């Protein structure tokens, strides 16, 4: 996806990342990860946002001593960095190690609407 999409989706991804930080601040690790997953769905068509969210998921895994999640994120960071620009991402995938990195998933209607608006520049 192009730079225009990255710019258009940025406020929405940042909103989810801020919510993840707030959830972490009150020791709600699971809710923090939910917001990271939402940020992933929103930004996965942008190489920048896709890689950034996976790096933040890796950081989450390290903070919470989740070896499985950390291993999964290292693999996903490499994939995001090398495949996103070609559009080789499974739409809707939430990005966590608990799902296959190749699995296409349904997108919540609220997020799908935001993604569509970002694509057309609204």
Tell whether 120 is covered by a domain. Answer: no
Q: How many CB atoms are closer than 10 A to CB 61?
A: 21
Tell whether 95 is covered by a domain. Answer: yes
Q: 110: Cβ–Cβ under 8 A, 6 or more apart, which residues?
A: none
Tell whether 121 is covered by a domain. Answer: no
Q: How many CB atoms are closer than 10 A to CB 10?
A: 16
- Tell if the pTM clears 0.75, that is, is over it: yes
Tell whether 102 is covered by a domain. Answer: yes
Tell whether 122 is covered by a domain. Answer: no
Tell whether 93 is covered by a domain. Answer: yes
Tell whether 89 is covered by a domain. Answer: yes
Tell whether 34 is covered by a domain. Answer: yes
pLDDT values of the chain reduced to their tens digit, one per residue, 122 residues: 478 999 999 999 999 999 999 999 999 999 999 999 999 999 999 999 999 999 999 999 999 999 999 999 999 999 999 999 999 999 999 999 999 999 999 999 999 999 999 999 86
Number of folded domains in the chain? 1
DSSP-derived secondary structure for 27-73: T-HHHHHHHHHHHHHHHTTSHHHHHHHHHHHHHHHHHTT-HHHHHHH
- The residue range of the domain holding 58 is 3-114
């Amino acid at each position: 996806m192009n730079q225009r999409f990255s710019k258009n989706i940025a406020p929405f991804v940042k909103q989810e990342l801020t919510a993840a930080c707030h959830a972490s601040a009150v020791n709600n690790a699971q809710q923090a990860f939910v917001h990271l997953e939402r940020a992933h769905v929103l930004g996965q068509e942008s190489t920048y946002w896709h890689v950034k969210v996976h790096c933040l998921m890796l950081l989450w895994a390290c903070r919470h001593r989740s070896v499985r999640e950390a291993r999964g994120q290292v693999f996903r960071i490499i994939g995001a960095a090398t495949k996103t620009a070609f559009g080789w991402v499974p739409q809707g995938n939430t990005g966590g190690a608990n799902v296959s990195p190749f699995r296409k998933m349904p997108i919540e209607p609220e997020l799908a609407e935001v993604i569509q608006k970002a694509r057309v520049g609204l």
